[in-house]
Structure 1
Amino acid sequence: MRTIERDSGAGSARAERAAAPGFHPVLIGLGLMLVAFNLRPALSSIGPLLPGIRAGTGLSGALAGALVTLPVLCLGVFGRLAPVLVRRIGPDAGVLVGLVVLALGLVLRGLGGLPLLFLGSVVAAAAIGIVGVILPGIVKRDFPDRAGLMTGLYTALLCLGAAAGAGFTVPLRQGLGLGWEGALMLWAAPALVAAAAWLPFARARPIPNAAAAQPGGGLWRDPLAWQVTAFMGLQSSLAYIVFGWLPAALVDRGFDIVAAGLVASVSALAQGVLALLVPTLAARRPDQRPWVILVIALPLVGFTGLLVGPIALAWGFALLLGLGLGGCFGLALTLIVLRAGDPRAAAELSAMAQGVGYCVAALGPFLVGVVHEVSGGWGLPAALYAGLCLAAAGFGLMAARDRTVRI
């Protein structure tokens, strides 16, 4: 994270001029945290309801895998549109538009029926992909001297939002007497709250020159850039497999649906611990390979243990899983910054790693759905997950060496 934080005085001055007058940094930070919280419930709330959706609609395992996969694919595909939107209306207005579209997608998927469920999921995920690409630039602009801290907080709030989606969706459905449609629609409310909170910033800030957001062609020929991208994609796949399939797997193993959602929520909540700590600690040394081994080993043990290990150890496995996934995500963002020699390279590497990486990540949940339906159990999905962990470790060890990309 040190690369971000060592901005020049001129860069800091430009950042200060870009910020809207009259807004205290604390208010901007709170707005960012509200936005960040809403970037995961749309994805993590599907898993706890998946058994009920399949029972009520006859959704096959392959289509259930597609329902989990499509949103992840949209993060990568539509995230590439973020620079275009920023150049047209500015980053703050882009975030506001994204939040409104996110709320629209969440409402659509709760109107009933499989077509609207899939359409709403795609719309919501497209908005998340766009906002997720824009936010790091806003953090760097408004907090040039505290970018590392704000990135850690932003990542932790993402994990908190994921935990809320996984843990609260089923209790809210039961407490309010809703079907799965209404339970999914509920998450539009916090998205609208975040949009209302962000509205003053969107109205007050000018449109900056976003030419620096253009992707650089040189990265596509750089092996290191591809190693960083592969690590980002594979570790994201590990997370989205968990979001999509952990509750269903736990129900199959004897948990009731509420307990399964709580286990998933505890796992998601634990992500915030290492998501906050790993970026700070890993950036203190030029070589991050020991961190790669740690953050990959934890989800490898945790998720395979939940799928095929002793049920009595489920809560411990869930804790290990959450700590590891949070550390993976934090380390992936850190590697993007550390492997870039300057802010422009960091922006271009981030666009490449997220755009391509999330498309790679989308394959994981789909493959797990297919393998589970073919095998009828969770042994083969556990083996597939272990294989993805080993692949992520291989690319991560290459990406974690003390080098920088060439653009």
Structure 2
Amino acid sequence: MTAGTETGKPAFRTPAFIALLLFALTLRGPFVVVSTVTGELSTELGMSATAIGLLTTLPVLCFGLAAPGASAVIARLGVERSVLVSLLGTLLGVLIRSVGGIPGALLGTLVMGLAITIGNVVSPVIIGRDFQGRSATVTGSYTAALNVGTMITLSATGPLVTQFGWQIALASWAVLPVIAAAAWVPLSRRRAERVAKAKVESAASAEPPKAAHSARLSTVLRRPTTWMLTIAFAGQAFAYYGLTAWLPTLLATEQGMTRDQAGAASSIFQICALIGAFGTPVIIGRLGGPLTAFLVAGVLWCGLPLGLLFAPDLWAVWSALSGVAQGAGFVAVFTVVVWRSKTLRENRQLSAIVQTGGYTVACLGPVVLGGLHDSTGGWTAPLLASFIAVLALMIMGALASRGLRR
């Protein structure tokens, strides 16, 4: 793996690209869909608001705390088998959550969260291995697929609940990992055949293959860029999950919207992430590299907290700009993860470290913003906290990407 460049592009692997996008569809939608059936979970299962909140918080907590374990699983099983384990775990989690009452809902969510954590960590490894010359572009497409998966499940679950009930509606999303597995199984077999052939050829050759130099985990941990990227992603994740949780409430209270209107209005924040996901590779490739991408993302991100403080009537503009920014920030962080990694092992280690810190802090976003709102009775303090978080993304991301150019 070559860090810091996208030159010398190999032939584009279309089947692997399609399989990666199908895999990405399974990594967010199956757990965020719970937000569409909170009423049914409360009335039919008697779940409290705290328990329902746990169904959406638990996976994110897994993303942070279980990332080192996911890295170890990938090291032991390899990339392809780790993808299949992730898909199988997501499938089982979706089904268990739908049929087991409250214990099943919690257990299924935990299984799903652990499985998706493996997927989160292995995805940058796949991008670095199979799309080395196009990592920024493929990371953008992968990020867009994460958002598309979320939008598909959120928009389609309501009609499914009306037609078939909430249990079948939630279980129906087991189709996503099944479709992704159908794409990955043939790829896994072909790669296994290539690896076996390479081993035979290397055994028959006069010279053994040269082992790529790979830094130890302790070396990766000592690099300043590791912690810069971790802080940058923590700022991104804190702001994203905090504002995703509270933006509908803020719009309802400050703009006089109904719950449905506020939910629809806040969807602008999610939809515009697609623009950031697809636009960031262009910035990285043509306008100065990841450093420029972090600066642009940071400036746009600041639009939501500062805009809502000083020009709240333009909430649609600020939501759109910050939506672009949150997609851009994710792409920028994980493009730099790939570029800063000299080998697949370093990619896996760095990805796990960044996600451990970022997603652990992300769990605090909704809690901290909600606590600040309760203690102050207004939205100024929560918005300022979000502003500080996105400044961390911009500053630390820019520092981590110094010297990286196409």
Confirm or deny a common fold (TM above 0.5): yes
1:301 pairs with one of 281, 297, 303: 303
Structure 1 runs not aligned, ≥5 long: 17-23
* Residues 295, 324 of structure 1: 8 Å contact kept: yes
Shift of 1:95: 0.8
How far does the alpha carbon of each residue in 1:43-102 deviate from its partner, in whole angstroms, 9 at most, with x for none? Answer: 432445457656774634x66654443211211333323343334433112211211211
Q: Distance in 2 between matches of 1:378 and 1:170?
A: 30
Q: Secondary structure at the match of 2:165?
A: coil
Hey, what does 2:118 align to over in structure 1?
130
2:276 pairs with one of 269, 274, 277: 274
> How do residues 247-258 of structure 1 correspond to structure 2 at under 5 angstroms?
247=248, 249-250=250-251, 255-256=257-258, 258=260
1:34 pairs with one of 22, 30, 37: 22
Q: Distance in 1 between matches of 2:305 and 2:36?
A: 16
Hey, what does 1:75 align to over in structure 2?
63
Q: 1:117 to 1:335 in 2, by over 3 A?
A: same
Q: 1:324 to 1:132 in 2, by over 3 A?
A: same
Q: Secondary structure at the match of 1:94?
A: helix
Q: Distance in 1 between matches of 2:310 and 2:54?
A: 24
Q: 1:134 to 1:315 in 2, by over 3 A?
A: same
Shift of 1:281: 1.8
Q: Distance in 2 between matches of 1:303 and 1:43?
A: 27
Shift of 1:235: 0.7
Q: 1:355 to 1:115 in 2, by over 3 A?
A: same
Shift of 1:162: 2.6
Matching residue's letter, 1:90 = G
> How do residues 53-202 of structure 1 correspond to structure 2 at under 5 angstroms?
57=46, 59-60=48-49, 66-111=54-99, 113-174=101-162, 176=163, 178-179=165-166, 181-202=167-188
Q: Distance in 1 between matches of 2:369 and 2:67?
A: 24
Structure 2 runs not aligned, ≥5 long: 200-210
Q: Secondary structure at the match of 2:115?
A: helix
Q: 1:374 to 1:284 in 2, by over 3 A?
A: same
Structure 1 vs Structure 2 CA RMSD: 3.8
Hey, what does 2:293 align to over in structure 1?
291
How far does the alpha carbon of each residue in 1:116-150 deviate from its partner, in whole angstroms, 9 at most, with x for none? Answer: 33332222121111012212322333334433432
Matching residue's letter, 2:223 = D
Q: Distance in 1 between matches of 2:380 and 2:47?
A: 24
1:318 paired with 2:319, answer yes
Q: Distance in 2 between matches of 1:267 and 1:102?
A: 26
2:191 pairs with one of 205, 220, 224: 205
Shift of 1:157: 1.1
How far does the alpha carbon of each residue in 1:148-201 deviate from its partner, in whole angstroms, 9 at most, with x for none? Answer: 432222222122223334444334434x2534x554433222222222332222
Q: TM-score normalised to the size of structure 2?
A: 0.79
Q: Distance in 1 between matches of 2:274 and 2:51?
A: 31
Q: 1:335 to 1:267 in 2, by over 3 A?
A: same
Hey, what does 1:21 align to over in structure 2?
none
Matching residue's letter, 2:298 = I
Matching residue's letter, 1:278 = T
* Residues 71, 349 of structure 2: 8 Å contact kept: no
Q: Distance in 2 between matches of 1:39 and 1:7?
A: 31
> Structure 1 stretches (4+) deviating beyond 6 angstroms?
207-214, 306-309
**Percent identical residues:** 30
Q: Distance in 2 between matches of 1:247 and 1:177?
A: 28
Hey, what does 2:223 align to over in structure 1?
222
* Residues 94, 108 of structure 2: 8 Å contact kept: yes
Hey, what does 1:381 align to over in structure 2?
382
Paired positions, count: 387
1:332 paired with 2:333, answer yes
Hey, what does 1:359 align to over in structure 2?
360
Q: 1:258 to 1:166 in 2, by over 3 A?
A: farther
